[in-house]
Amino acid sequence: MKKTFATFFSPGPTWIAGKTSREQPCWTEHAAFMDKLFENGTVILGGPYADYTGLLVIVEALHEEEVYELFGDDPFVVNEIVRISSIHEWLIFLDARNKQ
């Protein structure tokens, strides 16, 4: 059974300070990568913090190692634009998406 993980990213050594996520190198490739994960239901929510000091992506996966493996192919991670700073399994008690 899949679990929900909160995946926190911080800027990597090639992140360009003062630029938004969409202005970073490899944006187009990263966006295409993330779009596929969103379309297949792996990524539930994702995006940068409003001040661009990091990013948060909510993922459904079998285990934490799968999340690391998954983002190992992300162009932002491969090119060190961002790094995974932590992954936490998240137990969701309230979810408005499931309201009838």
**pLDDT tens digit sequence for 79-89:** 999 999 999 99
- Is 58 buried (19+), middle (13-18) or exposed (0-12) by CB count in 10 A? middle
pLDDT by residue for the chain (100 residues), tens digit each? 999 999 999 999 999 999 999 999 999 999 999 999 999 999 999 999 999 999 999 999 999 999 999 999 999 999 999 999 999 999 999 988 777 6
Which 3 state secondary structure label does DSSP give 17? coil
| CA distance readout (Å), 40 to 3, 18, 36, 48 | 15, 32, 6, 21
Looking at residue 100, its pLDDT comes to 67
Looking at residue 99, its pLDDT comes to 74
Strand pairing partners for 61? 3
Domains (range + CATH), the chain:
3-98 (3.30.70.1060)
Question: Distance between CA 99 and CA 54 in Å, rounded?
Answer: 30
